[in-house]
Amino acid sequence: MNSVDFYDVKKRAKVSVPVSQCKKTKYERPTKDGGTQVRYAVKAEMDGSRLTKFVSKDTWDSLSCPEA
C-alpha cells in the first residue's frame, strides 16, 4: 500500500496521501460494562486540512507508517 485515500470534507473530494506522510493512532475508551473499546485510525495533514480515516486492525497493522 503506497498511499491512503481520505475524504477531505473541505474540498468535498477524495484525496490520496502517501504512507510516508501518515501516522497511525489508536483511540481507546472505557465501555459501560468495564471493558475497553479500541478504534484504529490513520491521520494525515494535507493543504492545511487534518484528515482522519478509521480502518480495521488488519489494515492498521499492515501500514508501515509510524504510530502517533
Q: pLDDT (tens digit, 9 = 90+) per residue, 21-67?
A: 999 999 999 999 999 999 999 999 999 999 999 999 999 999 999 99
Beta pairing partners, 47: none
Joined together, the cell numbers standing for residue 39 give 478504534
Q: What is the mean pLDDT of residues 8-22?
A: 96
Q: What is the per-residue pLDDT for 1?
A: 73
Domain ranges (residues) in the chain:
3-62
Q: pTM of the predicted model, to two decimals?
A: 0.88
Cβ neighbours for 55, distance < 8 A, ≥ 6 positions apart: 40, 41, 42, 63
Q: What is the per-residue pLDDT for 8?
A: 97
Cβ neighbours for 32, distance < 8 A, ≥ 6 positions apart: none
